[in-house]
Structure 1
């Protein structure tokens, strides 16, 4: 049974699986071998977060479109509450490789879709998005499709800055020639040293100073195209997130590190989750604004 008295932050990240059809060396999601959340359990999680009054959910992984039940989950999560109030705002964070026919079943239930492009330089991008080619072209096709036929769904384009793409990251928007296909938000991430990112930090980590130099160039590029820029810095990660992992463990970030605090269905209503309300809201609303 879910706990209707459970207090959760306004915004949570649901990491349904570790499995992915890419092998990105900077990934901070669960390990690929982690078993996927079953549909039955995922629907229990949906009921729990809705009862807890969660206002927005980012669905990620791993790659969530690999789960056959994903269309049913996003529909159940996004439907109006029994009170008649709107359901949580649903964001799908995907690598963009799912066939369009599959996405057509998911897109009607989304508020936002988050898509990744790491560099305007093809070689740099391939070094970071490993496993399917041409990944970048497929992401751009999906972006154009969403803009053309699903205007209600807003788009966040994400770029993770590592040591391998400092040259090409600021040019990502140059890949989008049609002004009508530009994203609503372009978010620049400093690579986090978590999970696979920790494994490869010696190869990929970027200093704060080097990251700010890339940010400065991205700010100019975004201003030139009239795109809202959002910047993620590792220094601001603590307290901003609550993740629900495939095994239903609740994960928070303290001191820049992920900490598992217990099973979602066994949490005490008064447990200290180490989530800062202002940071949690600011992170989500800044990335996925209403207008």
Structure 2
């Protein structure tokens, strides 16, 4: 089929490659170049770079307005495919490709509809995640499902690790779905089950609350890693927690109390402590938690 592909971040690149290997990608839609790094250099999106390397025509836009709709219409596509583009597809663009648009979403719909499904699945302690290919409709992630796959969430897996896995497996799933739609082998089914929402994470979502139990604290830390990045304030200093692990065999500490034993730094929760492995204190470089502790020169601190 003639396919128009819309996507922006690195997790969408495997899907673009998988679809382009089997079908004719007549155009790629991605968001405008964005300022990155300390020098705020305008940088093309990962999808824009991959499309340019493959010699595919690119449309850059942050809003799918009338002009973008006109340009996509001129591509005369059979199907639209979207993976983490970062913008809404509305009518008349929704009906512009002959077979409409399909979306690869990294959750087991209808659980975790929205912008951050993988992150909220990890934060919430879900045992499984997965990917769903569904027909795009006007409602948020509400269309009928073409295919679904599931995978266990690792006990120590971060949202970033899980998303990277799903990006690879989901790309093949998406390409298979496009094949099945082209051949008329697939029939979509309506979503069923409890709807839960996965809004974009805010900075407040990344704050660790040590009055919660160990499992809850550790799940939130993994769910906001690498972005926006877990943090706390220790004796008034903002500290990002880059890596940590449960310390279930260590004696309990009061919630938020931070102590060191040898090369190990622990912070108390409502259950067993959490061991801090690497941290990034404000105004300093990332470092091992033990090095940070020695530099702080304290016997005991408090995280809030």
Q: What is the TM-score when the length of structure 1 is the normalising length? A: 0.29
Q: Higher helix proportion, which one? A: 1
Higher RCO (CA-CA < 8 Å; seq separation 6+):
1
Larger Rg: 2
Q: What is the TM-score when the length of structure 2 is the normalising length? A: 0.28
